[in-house]
């Protein structure tokens, strides 16, 4: 959820994350995304909601870089 919000990901992904969580027995809803979006900084706007190409984003490290261990980076 955090990586999706930080990258300006597709609203379609929101629908899928709600369904995936529910299948795992975790209930999340639009309010959860709304509350998180108030505190998660937008780091980039990856296509389709922005001009950054998803392939370039992946080549730069992708979601793993966004949610990775930042203490290891200098």
Q: Is residue 74 part of a domain?
A: no
Contacts of 6 (CB under 8 A, 6+ apart): 40, 41, 42, 43, 44, 66
User: What's the pLDDT at 51?
Assistant: 67
> What's the domain range around 12?
2-68
Number of structural domains found in the chain: 1
In a domain, 45, yes or no: yes
Q: Output the pLDDT for position 25.
A: 97
25 beta partners:
none
Q: Is 7 inside a domain boundary?
A: yes
Q: Indicate the pTM of the whole model.
A: 0.67
pLDDT at res. 74: 52
57 belongs to a structural domain: yes
Q: Does residue 17 lie in a domain region?
A: yes
Domain membership flag for residue 38: yes
Residue 26 lies in a domain: yes
The answer to whether position 34 is within a domain reads: yes
Q: Shortest CA distance to 43 belongs to which of 7, 13, 3?
A: 7
Under-50 pLDDT residues of the chain: none
Q: How many CA atoms lie within 13 A of 25 on its CB side?
A: 0
């Amino acid at each position: 959820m955090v990586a999706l919000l930080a990258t300006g990901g597709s609203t379609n992904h929101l629908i899928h994350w709600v369904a995936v969580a529910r299948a795992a027995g975790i209930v999340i809803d639009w309010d959860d995304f709304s509350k998180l979006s108030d505190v998660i900084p937008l780091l980039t706007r990856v296509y389709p909601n922005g001009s950054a190409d998803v392939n370039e984003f992946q080549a730069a490290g992708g979601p793993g870089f966004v949610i990775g261990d930042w203490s290891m980076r200098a």
